[in-house]
Structure 1
C-alpha cells in the first residue's frame, strides 16, 4: 500500500524531481546531515575512521549491480509493490548478502525529496526495531534503496487476507510485535535529537524478521519534530487514510502524538485482525476506530474485539489491558494520548507475561503492571 493524502483524496500527483548525476544526490544527502544530531550509540556506529561524524554509512550501488542482483528485476524476485514502486529480493555478490531492493516508480508518488529523507534518516538512525538501510542507487533518473532482507514480510501479510493453511499469529507473538514496534517509535521520539515524527506508521510498514522480530520501515514521509518552545510542525497532510490523527488531517499540524494515534490504529489491527479501513464491511464497521470506540466504553464487550482467528486463546486480563492502551492512543484529543514511552512500558509488560493455552495459569500476574514513567519527555 503506498501513501496518499490523509484526507482520502488523491489530489494532484507530486512532481518527481530529476537529478543529473549521482554525485549531486550524494552531495545533497551529506549537506543535510547537520540537521540531525545523533545520540552516542548512533555516533559510535556511523563515525568514520577519521572521526568525521557526518559520515554516511549507506553504500552507493550502480543500477547495473542491482539489476544483476535481481536478475533484471524478474517477476519471481518480486516481494511486493505499492504506491512507491516495487520491492525485489536479490543477492548482492559484492557483500555476499541477500537484500530487499526497492525500485521507486519514476512516475509514482514517492519523489526525490522522499528518497533523500529515507536515505538520510536510515543512515543516521539505528535501532534494533528500525530496518537497516544498506545502500542506495541514484544512477541518472533511477532511484533504488537497498535494505536488509526481512524474511517474514510485513505485519499486514500476517493479519489480513491470510491464505488457507498459513500460520495465524498467536497472542504471544502479537504482543511481541506490538512492543517491538512501540520501541522503534520510542527511539524516534525520545532518543533521536531532534525528535523524528514517523508520519506513516501502518501494518504494511512494520517488517518482520526471524522470530517475528518487528522493524519499522519506509521513512520517506518522516519529519524532524518540534524543538524548543514549538509544539508542532506545520506541513502538508500526507500519510495513509485510516491511520492519520484527526487533528493532523484537519490542520496539518504534526506532533509526536500524531504518531501515537497511528500506533493505536495498528494496535487495534493486531488485537482485532480487522483492517484500518475495510470497504467490504457495512457502513458502521468500515473505519476500525469508529467501530471500536463504542466498545471501549463497555468492558463486557471487550471479548467481541478479539480476533476470531485466536479462537479464544488469549488471557482475558491481557486483552483488557491492551485494549485500554489502544483506546488511550486513539483518543480524539491529542493531549489526552499517552507518550510513546508509557505505551512501551505497558506493552513490554504484557509481552513478558507469556500466555500458555494448555494451562489454566495464563501468566498474567495478579499484581498490576509497573508504574508508568513520568510524562516529562516530549509530550506533544
Structure 2
C-alpha cells in the first residue's frame, strides 16, 4: 500500500495495543491482528508536509535478516501508518532492563551475537542498499529481538521523515547521538556507527547511559567518556558487566570488544570505522 509524498513530523511514542483499543495518542507502535490472525506492528505519524513517497518506496524494498521490513504504508488524511511484521521478543532496551534488575541473564555469547547482528544490519543499509539508508535513530528500543535473540533493526530511516531527522535533545535517543549531530545539524553513516558504539557499550557494561552515575565525576559525564577513561587508566576489565565476567569466556575477547566500542565512539567521525569495517572487526574478536 502506498502513500502520497510528504515529510512527517512526530514526537514518537511506542506502545502496543490491540486494534479494538484504539489509542488516542497521535504516534504509537501498535500490535494489530487481521481476521486471519496475522500480527503486525503499526507505527503511526502525523504528516505535515508532502514529499516522502520516494523514501517510503526505498524503505519498502529493504530485505535483510537483521532489518525489519516495511510491509505497507497508508496515508489517511494527515496521518501516516507504517506496517511491519510484529516481533514478539521485545526490544533490547526491555531485555537490558530485565538484566539490570536480575530478572534474566544474558551471556556474553548472546550479547556478542546481538552486536554482530546489529552491525550486519547497518552494513546492509549503508553498503547494500542503493541509495544507502541511514538509520538516524539507532538505540536499544529500536533493536527488536527475534527468537534466539537475533536482532532486527526497527524504524530504519523513519527519522528522516520526521523534521530534521535528528533525535530530540531531550529524548532517550539523544544519549546515542554522535556529537556532530547537534554541532553541525548533519547526519552521516558515521553517526549510526557512533550509536552502535553506545549499544555495544551497553551490552558490555550492562549500564544504562541515562544512569545518574554518569552525571557525577566518577561517571565522567557520559558512558562514552567513562569507557575511554577506564581504558586509559588500565581498568577496562572493571568496566565489564560483572554478571558475564565470571562466565567461562575469554575476558580478553570482551576487552577487545570494549576497544571496538571505544573506536566507534571516537569524537571525530573520520576516526570511526565504517559499518563494513565494523562487521569485520567483530568477526575477528574470536581469533584473539
Q: Matches of 2:214 and 2:180 in 1, distance apart? A: 26
Q: CA deviation at 1:308?
A: 2.5
Q: Matches of 2:140 and 2:229 in 1, distance apart? A: 23
Is the 1:302–1:323 Cα contact (8 Å) retained in structure 2?
yes
Aligned to 1:26: 3
Aligned to 1:302: 236
Q: CA deviation at 1:288?
A: 0.9
Q: How does 1:65-84 map to 2 (within 5 A)?
A: 70-73=18-21
Structure 1, 329-338 or 115-124: larger mean CA deviation: 115-124
In the TM superposition, what whole-angstrom CA distance separates every residue of 1:237-291 from its partner, at most 9, and x where no partner exists?
7122121211232112332212111111111111111122323654232521122
Q: How does 1:264-279 map to 2 (within 5 A)?
A: 264-279=197-212
Aligned to 2:13: none
Q: What TM-score do the two structures reach when normalised by structure 1?
A: 0.63
1:100 maps to 2:58: no
In the TM superposition, what whole-angstrom CA distance separates every residue of 1:207-266 from its partner, at most 9, and x where no partner exists?
11111111111131248xxxxxxxxxxx94712212121123211233221211111111
**SS in structure 1 of the partner of residue 73 of structure 2:** strand
Larger proportion of helix: 2
Q: CA deviation at 1:101?
A: 2.3
1:251 maps to 2:193: no
Runs of 4+ in 1 over 6 A off after TM superposition: 112-115
**SS in structure 2 of the partner of residue 275 of structure 1:** coil
Aligned to 2:33: 91
Counterparts in 2 of 1:165 and 1:245: CA distance versus 1, 3 Å: closer
1:206 maps to 2:143: yes
Q: Matches of 2:48 and 2:246 in 1, distance apart? A: 45
**SS in structure 1 of the partner of residue 31 of structure 2:** strand
Q: CA deviation at 1:140?
A: 2.7
Q: CA deviation at 1:165?
A: 6.2
Aligned to 1:346: 281
Is the 2:135–2:159 Cα contact (8 Å) retained in structure 1?
yes
Counterparts in 2 of 1:133 and 1:73: CA distance versus 1, 3 Å: farther
Aligned to 1:138: 75
In the TM superposition, what whole-angstrom CA distance separates every residue of 1:338-374 from its partner, at most 9, and x where no partner exists?
1111110122344xx4xxxxxxxxxxx5xx4xxxxxx
Aligned to 2:223: 288
Aligned to 1:261: 194
Counterparts in 2 of 1:320 and 1:245: CA distance versus 1, 3 Å: same
Aligned to 2:265: 330
**SS in structure 2 of the partner of residue 136 of structure 1:** strand
Matched pairs, number? 268
Counterparts in 2 of 1:222 and 1:151: CA distance versus 1, 3 Å: same
Is the 2:41–2:84 Cα contact (8 Å) retained in structure 1?
yes
In the TM superposition, what whole-angstrom CA distance separates every residue of 1:116-161 from its partner, at most 9, and x where no partner exists?
6773342022211110222233223443222111111111111135
2:61 corresponds, among 114, 124, 132, to 124
In the TM superposition, what whole-angstrom CA distance separates every residue of 1:67-91 from its partner, at most 9, and x where no partner exists?
xx9342368xxxxx9xx73222232
